[in-house]
Amino acid sequence: MQNFKKDFPLLMHQDIAYLDNAATTQRPLQVLEAEREFYEKYNANPLRGLYDLGVLATEKYEESRETVAQFIHASSSREIVFTRNATESINLVAYTYGLANLKEGDEILITVEEHHSNMLPWQMVSQQTGATLVYLECDKDGLISDEMVCSAVNEHTKLAAMTHISNVLGRKNPVETLIREVHKVGGVVLVDAAQSAPHIPVDVQKMDADFMAFSGHKMYAPMGIGVLYGKERLLEEMPPFLTGGEMIEVVTRCGATYAELPHKFEAGTVNGGGAYALAKAISFIKEIGQDTIEKREMELTRYAFEGMQQIPGIRIQGSTKAEEHYGIISFALDGVHPHDIASILSEDHVAIRAGHHCAQPLLAYLGVRSTARVSMAYYNTEEDIDRLLQSLSTMRQKMGY
Amino acid sequence: MEIKSYYNEILTDHNLHPGHKEDLVGATCVHEGINPSCGDDIILQLQVEDGIIKGGSFNGDGCAVSQASADIMLDLVVGKTVDEAKRLADIFMRMIKGQASKEEIEELDEGAALQDISHMPARVKCAVLGWRTMTEMLDQKLK
């Protein structure tokens, strides 16, 4: 088995089974060096300078945008807006497209599985415009079927938002069906790809998504760089989100004309080093191979899933099939609170997440207050999982049972 | 930081076999304490008469640290005056911040079992939930 950890300084230097990859991944040396390289070799304010260095900075920034466009198969880099993270990308759409196009009588359709970042912006749009926020419920094991999608969409559905892969249950949702159905009634769909883009190939054109949001830091890039994809036709018509420098053509005392796409949505000095490092992270993913990543993560998921099923007292949330978990396993251990699970695992140098995972409505729907969550990346090993399983298997005893 | 030192027998025993996790008949005040970020939630009930805490109980849901700490607190403060309970809560809070003396910590009896939480910032709010809730309640009552 290839040692994938060798690219990741933190994993090489620390004794840790890092299993909180759905929160953020580790970063490979190539990405860390890329960010440094940008500031060492190309640093000037992108999109401004008329001198050579400024032009170079702009080139590197725009090449990074092109790399992102190719990664998700966008038809043009004009459809790629750099943001801080998926949360900001979704807010951008809510505050611009949402507030400008929705009105009383319209419906916004989201699912109960959404991360708060794909829920609160739509609550805001609903409150401000009078549009009704409708929740698509899942089954108790997290399934959203094509039939459930079809019966939730109606002629009032003007906007729908759905997570591609649930950050709690790891289940993949039928975004293609939702997009098809919502398009039939003339609405638009935003896909939250924060948990999918790092792990499985994503093709916005094949999917026909209108908007897509994801974060760099969940796919080996630095924190603070994220992406919004939007169809050019829609982005063109949207009002700007933030205003100020960089996003204008002409400013007078009483108004301004805005810059062309995508700069209209990138007010202020951009995160040049972050964008450059994100492009490097994408090249890195391509070098490892998206097929290799997906296959390896499924092997690890199955290994962890089967091991956890053997431990008395563990109840796994969501599907009973490992292959429907995409690297994410949320679970409860009878009598041991998730926070205590995470603390005891930490003692054994195993890092997992405990809490509500920013999805309180889903947890309420599932009837739990919090869960523990294991989430894997391709660089994890069977040894990491064994450490998890070893610690879990003695945990009830440690807690006095 | 060795976690074993705070997931000790005192803590696990209070978590699994709490002496005060029940409804209190004759309660004179009720107050809820929540840690929104992690979902720990306790409802503290006290029976306070003539400035003395005659009885106390709690209900709720949370991690072992939050639940055991509340139970240990009630063992300590039932039978004491309101002022004494507030003084002990103050010592507990300072112990968690690493600012209490050895003599003070001894006054907390089994509460001392939680002193190593001071090295675990992520768990501090769990440990102080019961104490914070009681202090808020007693301060409101005296207003």
Tell me the mean pLDDT in the region A58-72: 97
- Res A368: pLDDT: 86
Beta strands in A152-294 (DSSP E): 157-163, 188-192, 211-215, 226-230, 248-252, 255-258
329-358 of A, contacting B, C-beta below 8 A:
335-340, 343-344, 346-347, 354-356
CB contacts, 8 Å: B4 with chain A:
347
Band (B1; pLDDT cuts 50, 70, 90)? very low
Q: Which fold has domain B3-142?
A: Sufe protein. Chain: A (3.90.1010)
Band (B142; pLDDT cuts 50, 70, 90)? low
The answer, for A371 touching chain B at a CB cutoff of 8 Å, is: no
- Res B48: pLDDT: 95
**Of A162-171, A231-240, A364-373, which gets the smallest average pLDDT?**
A364-373
Q: Where are the domains of chain A?
A: 4-19+289-398, 30-286
CB contacts, 8 Å: A338 with chain B:
63
- Model confidence, pTM: 0.90
What digits encode the pLDDT tens for the residues B38-82?
A: 778 899 999 999 999 999 999 998 999 999 999 999 999 999 999
Q: Please state whether A335 falls in left (phi above 0), alpha (psi between -120 and 50) or beta.
A: left
Band (A254; pLDDT cuts 50, 70, 90)? confident
- Res A192: pLDDT: 98
Looking at this protein, which amino acid is placed at residue A263? H
Distance from CA of B88 to the nearest CA of A (A): 26
**Superfamily name with CATH number, domain A4-19+289-398:** Aspartate Aminotransferase, domain 1 (3.90.1150.10)
SS3 state of residue A400: coil
- Res A370: pLDDT: 85
Tell me the DSSP string of A360-375: HHHHHHHT-S-EEEEE
- Cβ–Cβ pairs < 8 A, chains A and B: 53
Distance CA A229, CA A214 (A): 9
Of the residues A116, A334, A343, A395, the best mutation for testing chain B's interface (the one with the most B CB atoms within 10 Å of its CB) is: A343
Distance from CA of B1 to the nearest CA of A (A): 8
What digits encode the pLDDT tens for the residues A97-118?
A: 999 999 999 999 999 999 999 9
| Secondary structure element (H or E) that encloses residue B141, with its range | helix B121-142
Distance CA B61, CA B41 (A): 5
Q: Percent of chain B scored above 90 by pLDDT?
A: 75
Tell me the mean pLDDT in the region A176-190: 98
- Cβ of A206: how many Cβ atoms within 10 Å? 10
Distance CA A161, CA A108 (A): 8
**Of B15-29, B78-92, B117-131, which gets the smallest average pLDDT?**
B117-131
- Asked whether the ipTM of the predicted complex exceeds the cut of 0.85, the reply is no
Of the residues A20, A116, A334, A337, the best mutation for testing chain B's interface (the one with the most B CB atoms within 10 Å of its CB) is: A337
CB contacts, 8 Å: B120 with chain A:
343
Q: What angle do CA A208, A214, A217 make, to 5 degrees?
A: 155
CATH number corresponding to A30-286: 3.40.640.10
- Res A332: pLDDT: 95
What digits encode the pLDDT tens for the residues B73-110?
A: 999 999 999 999 999 999 999 999 889 999 999 999 99
- Res A237: pLDDT: 95
Residue in this structure with the two tokens 């007693």, named with its chain if needed:
B138
Tell me the mean pLDDT in the region A366-385: 94
Domains A4-19+289-398 and A30-286 equal at CATH topology level: no
What digits encode the pLDDT tens for the residues A22-56?
A: 999 999 999 999 999 999 999 999 987 789 999 99
Distance CA A294, CA A201 (A): 9
- Res B123: pLDDT: 87
Q: Which two tokens stand for residue A172?
A: 């993949």
Band (A285; pLDDT cuts 50, 70, 90)? very high
Distance CA A81, CA A236 (A): 12
- Cβ of B81: how many Cβ atoms within 10 Å? 14
Catalytic residue among A138, A150, A254, A358: A358
Q: Where are the domains of chain B?
A: 3-142
Respond yes or no: is residue A138 known to be catalytic. no
Mean pLDDT across chain A, nearest whole number?
96
Distance CA A343, CA A179 (A): 41
CB contacts, 8 Å: B64 with chain A:
336-337, 340, 399
More confident position, A337 or B35: A337
